[in-house]
Amino acid sequence: MLRVVALALVLVACGKSDPRAAAASGSGEAGGPARADGPEVAADDQSRFDQERQPELLMRALGLKPGMTVADVGAGTGLLTVHIARAVFPGGHVVATDINPSVLEYLHARMEAAGFDTVVEPRVVQPAEPGLEADHYDLILLSQVDHYFDDRVAWLTKAAPALKATGRLAINNRMQHRAAAMAAAGSVGFQLVTEVNDLPGQFVAIFQRGPAPGRAPTPKGTP
Ligand SMILES: C[S@@+](CC[C@H](N)C(=O)[O-])C[C@H]1O[C@@H](n2cnc3c(N)ncnc32)[C@H](O)[C@@H]1O
C-alpha cells in the first residue's frame, strides 16, 4: 500500500499518470518505428506533458542527432525519453536511469508502445551513483532531477568520466534551481557552452567537460 502511495506521489511530482491505464482506454500515439502488436500509448498523458513542457524547445537546444548515445538521468515514466529516443533514431541509444524501479516499468511500457524499446534501456541506479559507463555518452541530460541529489557536486564528479571527450552535459530545470545547478557544474570544472531560456519557466544549460583533474590544458599547436 505504502509502495503504491509512494509511486503515485512520484508520478504526480513528474506530471504523469499511468500509461497502462490510458492504454486500456485505447488512445494512441504516433512516433517510432511501426509496430503491429504493441499496446496503445496514453496520447492524452503525452499531449498534456507536451503542452506544459514544450519538449520540442528542449530538443532543439540539445541538438541531438541520429546515432547519438544519451543518458537520460531521472527519466521517470519516459514522457521526455520518448522525444529523446525519436531524436537519436536510427542508430542511437538512450540509457534511461531512475532510482525508482516502478517508474521504469512504466517507462518500458511507454517505449514498447512507441516502438522504441530497442533504443531505450531502462536502468535502476542508486541515488548517489550515476551508474553510467566511462567514456560512452554524447550527452548526459539531467532534466528536472538535479534538485533531488543530496550532493550535486559529488554526483557530477562521478558522472563526468561517463562523457566522451566531445560529450556534453545538459541541465534542464525550473528557474529556482538554476543558481545551484550552475554553481555545482562550475565547481566540478564543466564549462558552459550555451544557455537557452525560451522554455516555459525553465532553463537549459549545456556544458562541456573541462580538462581532466591534474592535467593542464595543452596549448594549441603543441604536439
Ligand atoms: C520530476 S521527475 C523528472 C522526470 C523527467 N526527467 C522529466 O523531465 O520529466 C524526477 C525523477 O528523478 C528520479 N530521481 C530522483 N533522484 C534521482 C537520482 N539520484 N538518480 C536518478 N534518478 C533520480 C525520481 O525517481 C523521478 O522519477
pLDDT band at 14 (very low <50, low <70, confident <90, very high): low
Per-residue pLDDT at 32: 41
Total domains in the fold of the chain? 1
Residue 215 has pLDDT above 70, yes or no: no
Residue 189 has pLDDT above 50, yes or no: yes
CA of 98 to the centre of ligand 1 (A): 6
Residues 35-63 have a mean pLDDT of: 79
CA of 73 to the centre of ligand 1 (A): 7
Burial of 158 (0-12, 13-18, 19+ CB in 10 A): middle
Averaged confidence pLDDT in the chain: 84
Instruction: Evaluate whether residue 216 is within a structural domain.
Output: no
Q: What is the number of other CB atoms lying within 10 angstroms of the CB of residue 213? A: 9
Q: Find the domain containing 65 and state its range.
A: 54-208
Q: In angstroms, what CA-CA distances link 102 with 12, 105, 166, 203?
A: 14, 5, 33, 28
CA of 197 to the centre of ligand 1 (A): 21
Residues 181-202 have a mean pLDDT of: 95
Instruction: Evaluate whether residue 28 is within a structural domain.
Output: no
Q: Which of 16, 99, 110 to mutate to test the pocket of ligand 1 (most atoms within 8 A of CB)?
A: 99
Express each pLDDT in 71-99 by its tens digit.
999 999 999 999 999 999 999 999 999 99
Instruction: Evaluate whether residue 99 is within a structural domain.
Output: yes
Instruction: Evaluate whether residue 131 is within a structural domain.
Output: yes
Per-residue pLDDT at 19: 39
| Ligand 1 nearest-atom number relative to CA 141 | 6
Q: What is the number of other CB atoms lying within 10 angstroms of the CB of residue 44? A: 13
The model carries a pTM of 0.85
* Nearest protein Cα to ligand 1, atom 11: 74
Instruction: Evaluate whether residue 117 is within a structural domain.
Output: yes
Per-residue pLDDT at 210: 75
Residue 147 has pLDDT above 90, yes or no: yes
CATH number at residue 137: 3.40.50.150
Per-residue pLDDT at 223: 42
Residues 16-28 have a mean pLDDT of: 37
Per-residue pLDDT at 143: 98
Instruction: Evaluate whether residue 20 is within a structural domain.
Output: no
